[in-house]
Amino acid sequence: MTQHTPLVIKLGGALLESNQDLAALFTTLNTFINEVKRPLVLVHGGGVLVDNQLKAMGLTSTKKDGLRVTPPEHIGVITGALAGTANKLLLAQAITHGVSSVGLCLGDGGLCRVSQLDPELGSVGQIEGGDATLISSLLSGGFMPIVSSIGITFDGQLMNVNADQAGTAIAEVLNADLVMLSDVSGILDGERALINELTEDRALTLMEQGVITDGMAVKVKAALQATKKLGKPVAVGSWRNPEQLLSLLAGESEFGTRISH
Ligand SMILES: Nc1ncnc2c1ncn2[C@@H]1O[C@H](COP(=O)(O)OP(=O)(O)O)[C@@H](O)[C@H]1O
Ligand SMILES: CC(=O)N[C@@H](CCC(=O)OP(=O)(O)O)C(=O)O
């Protein structure tokens, strides 16, 4: 990782359930920003929050191949959970930890162009490229963008985009380095042991064998695509070990799983 290459960190939504882990992570980010002085962008999910909000509204939700089936009547609640509550909780953490930040969604400034992925999934979006202008000017102004995975189609429909796909797409738009932080130490093999280096061939085998499943399969597929487009590995690790994260961000240590093609 070179000094001025932007770094995109994708945060999995389970982090939002723990104030202690949130505080530890933002303390680390503050240190990173002050010491390493590298442009930083956060992209976040919030799957757990979406589950809770839908349940509270008496709505049931299903997933297909790790993606949430999103009937158009659910998109308002999901937008509220992701672009509203999750985004603003993270912004609040940034403020209280002294990190100047701006909360955005994929539609702001044309950051990501989004279209419907598959009519069977309803209001689920896929990203077809984007425009780094807004994020670049925020980074130049010393702000850390915090981006939710809600997108808007060219004809104004709100879309629920998987946050791993949003993270990889934004890393591609910025030609950034990418670290994906989840609730596990990295990608685990059939014996639940951490895999340090994961290549495409092994990833495909582990997905076929049902060892990498659900949200992790979506993450690995998105990461594999990003490693090809970016020409560099993507790291998947835990938000539970911010000290390790700092070493990784400083280019000092191995961390979680490195995915390469
Ligand atoms: N081989 C695997 N290694 C690690 N986690 C896996 C694996 N296969 C499935 N998972 C599941 O994937 C989850 C992480 O994916 P996801 O819930 O989408 O995370 P996030 O919200 O952080 O993006 C883990 O908590 C775990 O339950
Ligand atoms: C289409 C789709 O699956 N959207 C995801 C968006 C949030 C997300 O990806 O959150 P995590 O990073 O916490 O998994 C969802 O509705 O759960």
Supply the pLDDT for residue 251. Answer: 63
Question: Best substitution site from 184, 196, 198, 257 to test ligand 1's pocket, by max atoms within 8 Å of Cβ?
Answer: 184
10 is catalytic: yes
Supply the pLDDT for residue 65. Answer: 94
229 is catalytic: no
State the pTM of this model. 0.97
Note the ipTM here. 0.98
Catalytic residue among 10, 45, 107, 108: 10
Handedness of CA 231, 228, 224, 158 (dihedral sign): positive
Distance CA 107, CA 205 (A): 36
* pLDDT of 179 over the 70 cut: yes
Which single residue is written with the structure tokens 């791993």? 164
Give the chain's domains with CATH numbers.
7-259 (3.40.1160.10)
Distance CA 32, CA 209 (A): 38
Distance CA 70, CA 252 (A): 41
Supply the pLDDT for residue 242. Answer: 78
219 is catalytic: yes
More confident residue, 35 or 200: 200
Q: Which ligand 1 atom is the nearest neighbour of the CA of 186?
A: 4
Q: State yes or no: 46 annotated in a binding site.
A: yes
Question: Best substitution site from 185, 211, 216 to test ligand 1's pocket, by max atoms within 8 Å of Cβ?
Answer: 216
Residues in CB range of 84: below 8 A, 6 or more apart: none
Q: Residue 232, class by beta-carbon neighbours within 10 Å (0-12 exposed, 13-18 middle, 19+ buried)?
A: middle
